[in-house]
Amino acid sequence: MKSFTYERVDTPAAATAAFARTPGARFIAGGTNLLDLMKLEIETPPHLIDVSHIALDKIEATPEGGLRIGAMVRNTDLASDARVRRDYGLLTRALVAGASGQLRNKATTAGNLLQRTRCPYFYDTNQPCNKRKPGSGCAAIGGFNRLHAVVGASEACIATHPSDMAVAMRALDATVETVDAGGKARAIPIADFYRAPAKTPHLETVLAPGELITAVTLPRPVGGTHIYHKVRDRASYAFALISVGVIVQRDGTGRVALGGVGYKPWRVEGAEAALPRGARPVVDGLLAGAKTTHENAYKLPLVERTLAGVLAQAKG
């Protein structure tokens, strides 16, 4: 690990000001992803700004009837909150599927959204990776890509986003709240939060340098049956081959978001109108234009079969 300097801040304004003073700095809270990347020298920030002591660790009701989840709320506390369990069960189920109890005790809401890909070529510094080193190439294209994206990829990157929580947040229409170095706040729908890889896969979100996530807001509960099903190589805390997050109403309508298929949690609202007719027409819309390799083509039938099972479970 390369040497770095460190400071602790206790307000969003202090955090963004510290970033402005030190180009290349990184915010750190739980550190469950960033520290691993620093040990491998994939991330080499000259300065760490510890934001874990900012008072953003509350879950509060909003005037609109939803919930405002502070950026520093730990995954364990979010998953176990009575209001989340009752009204946003999909979120609790995704969080519990996402990591071990030890990791959930450290990982934060904002950090979960900002996880970087688990592509093995991204983690292997001897291999070319446009996400790690822009312009170097993509070893996954033509390499071992069984875990990689089938939708939304580009000629520069076929990596997937690893977060389970983000899949639930997308199905729930969450909004990400931020503040920048000038103190300006903005609200970003999670549908618009992640950047397509295109020719710049190293730019993963729409956040500006030094922009700090302060909260994630959920709208009013939509009710229905909430199911999160994650398919993985082993039962104990592996990243998803694919995952399916579904909210189904009594009339068969609902919402579907997928993990493990693209650079972001994947949802196509137009495809959801076909939910009462079963899994196949929904998947046709969700994965329209999919581009597979000989190693990851299995993901298309796997999504369909998993969604069919989830819908049967919801009806049952």
Each residue's pLDDT tens digit, 74-130: 999 999 999 999 999 999 999 999 988 899 999 999 999 999 999 999 999 999 999
pTM above 0.75, yes or no: yes
Q: What pLDDT is stored for residue 316 in this prediction? A: 79
| 262-289: pLDDT as tens digits | 999 999 999 999 999 999 999 999 999 9
pLDDT of residue 212: 98
In the prediction, which pLDDT does 315 show?
Answer: 87
Got the DSSP string for the chain? ----EEEE-SSHHHHHHHHHHSTT-EEESS-TTHHHHHHTTS---SEEEE-TTSS---EEE-TTSSEEEETT-BHHHHHH-HHHHHH-HHHHHHHHHHS-HHHHHH-BHHHHHTPPP--HHHH-TTS-BTTTSTTS-BTTTTS--TTS-SSS--SS-------SHHHHHHHTT-EEEEE-TTS-EEEEEGGGTBPP-TT-TT--BSPPTT-EEEEEEE-S---SEEEEEEE-SSSSS---SEEEEEEE-TTS-EEEEEESSSSS-B--GGGGGGGGG-HHHHHHHHTTT----TTTTTHHHHHHHHHHHHHHHHH-
What is the mean pLDDT for each group of 10 consecutive residues in the chain (316 residues)? 95 96 95 96 97 97 98 98 98 95 94 97 97 98 97 98 98 98 95 98 97 98 97 88 97 97 98 96 97 97 98 91
